[in-house]
Structure 1
Amino acid sequence: MALREQRRLETQRAIQTHAVRLFAERGYDATTVADVADAAGVSAMTVYRHFPTKEDLVLADQHAADIAERIAASPPELPLVRRIGGALIDGTAALTRDGRDKGLTPTGQFLLARLKLMISTPALRAKHLDNNYVLQQAIVGALGYDASEPDKLFQAEAAASACLAALHTALVRWAEEDGRPDLPGLIGMALAAAFGETVTGA
């Protein structure tokens, strides 16, 4: 990764981390973009350059690319839901599991705080659907289908949407239980309930 791009991502992560912390402490509506800028040590213009809207400070997700990469690297002969589900489970395991004490990683703690905000804030719940669509399109792109194969494209979109619905169910349960359950395990349970045990490779 080029140094300039790395610095851009580091700035984004720092701003978003401060934003989520302030929103959790003070409330989403009570916290302004100026408050976030002050906490992050940047100007409000810098915040808007990285996050065009206040909602984006919570909803912006830098992990879709990792999921897409995992799907693209998966064996193409596997069923679609197995490829997608495996990537969702493995991707969340890498983000949330701490092998030393089985607690949440710092990234996992951040994801939990972010998810709680999405669930509890009406303005964010509505816009969360846009995020799901973006992730769905990233998944379909990683599977390699496009408009030249309309039937396969439709199947890929349907499989991605169904897997993301299972993911959402697992995420809500995880947030309701304050991150105590193992998130990859919950995702596996949700996928197995929807598609059968073999979708998780059991």
Structure 2
Amino acid sequence: MTLNHRQAGLRERKKAKTMASIQMHALRLFRELGYKATTVEQIAEAAEISYSTFFRYFSSKEDVLIIDNYDPLLISSFESQPAELSPLQALRNAMLSGVKEMTPGELATMRERNELVMSVPELRAAMLNNMLSMMDLIIDMTCKRTGRQREDIAVRTFAGAVTGVNISVMLHYAEHAEADFSILLGEALSKLEEGLTL
């Protein structure tokens, strides 16, 4: 990896950490005050950032629960996977390596975010849009790796299946705080790779 790539990776990791910190403070306020009663000003003050800095990371209070900045890290890891791996194997490795780099605090924040999203109806709709964006990202990465076109039904089905796995694992993790997210995700993606016979 070149120096520029390492520096870019460090910048993305620092940005992701800052976003996770803002989310952690926001979640505490949501617990104490309620989601609707909490303001962006209160979140910024708790995170010790300015009001304008908040909007460098999130476009709204809703985005604090919906958006993260791990996509660039996922793309970088996916693209560095050995060429002999299938797209699913490469994506599984990339996703699991990203999870392993998350601190216990980041994982707890992710679980709590998902739990809160599922309890607020308007946030569930926003999460669907986020999942559709994830599906588009997987389509783009898969097309680049395989040379296939976005319209290829196999590519779209693959992206939809992986996105579905991610949703099911996140929902399970939101309801089972004692679970190991990395193990859950690895097992679910392995089931998909094996053909998921029931």
Q: Of residues 92, 111, 131 in structure 2, which corresponds to 1:85?
A: 92
Q: 1:177 to 1:2 in 2, by over 3 A?
A: closer
1:176 deviates by: 0.5
Q: 2:4: which partner in 1?
A: none
Q: Deviations over 1:114-169 (max 9, x none)?
A: 222222221211111222222223333333539x8427854333212211211211
1:77 deviates by: 3.1
Q: Tell me the secondary structure at the aligned position of residue 173 of structure 1.
A: helix
Q: Provide the C-alpha distance between the structure 1 equivalents of 2:17 and 2:106, rounded to a whole number of angstroms.
A: 14
Q: Provide the C-alpha distance between the structure 2 equivalents of 1:95 and 1:153, rounded to a whole number of angstroms.
A: 33
Q: Deviations over 1:3-54 (max 9, x none)?
A: 9988766654443332122123322112111221222233433323432121
Asked if 1 retains the 8 angstrom alpha-carbon contact of 2:13 and 2:73, the reply is no
Q: 1:64 to 1:38 in 2, by over 3 A?
A: same
Q: Deviations over 1:77-129 (max 9, x none)?
A: 33322222232233223325xxxxxxxx2221222222222222212111112
Structure 1 position 36 matched with structure 2 position 43: yes
Amino acid at match of 2:106: T
Amino acid at match of 1:170: V
Percent sequence identity is: 29
Q: 1:144 to 1:124 in 2, by over 3 A?
A: same
Asked if 2 retains the 8 angstrom alpha-carbon contact of 1:75 and 1:83, the reply is yes
Q: Using CA pairs under 8 Å that are at least 6 residues apart, name the structure with larger relative contact order, 1 or 2.
A: 1
Alignment of 1:53-202 (within 5 A): 53-95=60-102, 105-145=104-144, 149-150=148-149, 153-178=152-177, 180-196=178-194
Q: Provide the C-alpha distance between the structure 1 equivalents of 2:13 and 2:88, rounded to a whole number of angstroms.
A: 33
Q: Tell me the secondary structure at the aligned position of residue 95 of structure 1.
A: coil
Normalising by structure 1, report the TM-score: 0.76
Q: How many residues align?
A: 188
Structure 1 position 25 matched with structure 2 position 39: no
Unmatched runs of 5 consecutive residues or more in structure 1: 97-104
Which segment drifts farther, 24-33 or 189-198?
189-198
Q: 1:99: which partner in 2?
A: none
